[in-house]
Copies of this chain bind each other. A is one copy, B any other.
């Protein structure tokens, strides 16, 4: 057993430094009222012994209660944000014994007023920390500006607004994930194949994620000089009218006979998959994002070739954990955290989903 795993208590430090436990405690917390002489003696022993506080005992003894708030979009069952929400739940139950509680607030991601309203409410409640998905840039900056003024720390999840004074950001490097999607999709494609790119209109603010993914995708095309090797074309999907999308695809297939691959940049590739199955176009290779239940099903069935995943539950969980590290445990944290770009095929999805950390 190496020395780092040795158990050392404040009591031990106190004896070795020839002072009382209270003095050691004061040094540990920079709480003042300690003579220079004692401080030095304690710090010396602290250093030599590689003291690591027992965080459990610490939060057990601490009377402070932390009220965290998370602010994410409302969602339908099985949607992307549900998995984020689950991550927050997990964190809530894991950190409950550290005197942490998490209050969840939902806003409508297509309605900026809902965002404003919810952020106003949160400010009223004067929380100890806030986690939010910064869907609306300007309104987020107003909100986080006020949080900063009140010295309430906050973290971004899913996407980021660099100008704000956030504590951490967890999310995926969307550009890079688009780049990888292109590589996976175009790598083995015969020349002159048609590549169908599904773009989805969103009401209200446009999500940064899908745009970055698209840009990453096109960057790969450019880097490898593929723009003339294949025929790329976009198809616009409507967000809320699947019949229209179906009809649109029908038109597309009437005139394009060499479509080999297709991609969507949002998480709803299962809708495309469904239409392709209906239209009997199952030879087309599909790639999409995120592990929605329906996406997984189509992956397992072989309709979707690749899914790119980003551990949304972990993003939420770690966001909470890092806030605890900051406020409670006083540990080092990293500001920007890109989660891995996980590549899932039907052959590795089962182990991936089964594996509980």
A interface residues, tally (CB under 8 Å): 49
- Per the 8 Å Cβ criterion, residues 230-260 of A in contact with B are none
- Per the 8 Å Cβ criterion, residues 169-210 of A in contact with B are 172-173, 176-177, 179-180, 183, 187-188
Pair B102/A347 contact, Cβ less than 8 Å: no
Which of B1, B5, B52, B188 lies in contact with A187, CB distance below 8 A?
B188
The answer, yes or no, to whether A4 is at the interface (CB within 8 Å) is: yes
Contact mask A54-94 → B, CB, 8 Å, 1/0? Answer: 11110110000000000000000000000000000100110
> Known interface pairs A56-B56, A183-B345, A188-B187. Does A351 touch B97 (Cβ–Cβ under 8 Å)?
no
Q: What are the 9 A-B residue pairs with the smallest beta carbon separation, nearest first? A: A188-B188, A56-B56, A341-B348, A340-B352, A343-B343, A338-B351, A54-B97, A5-B92, A180-B347
Hey, which bits of chain A sit against chain B, CB under 8 A? 1-2, 4-7, 52, 54-57, 59-60, 89, 92-93, 96-97, 101-103, 172-173, 176-177, 179-180, 183, 187-188, 314, 318, 334, 337-343, 345, 347-348, 351-352, 354-357
- Could you jot down 12 A-B contacts, CB within 8 Å? A4-B93, A5-B89, A5-B101, A7-B97, A54-B60, A56-B56, A57-B60, A173-B351, A176-B347, A183-B345, A188-B188, A340-B342
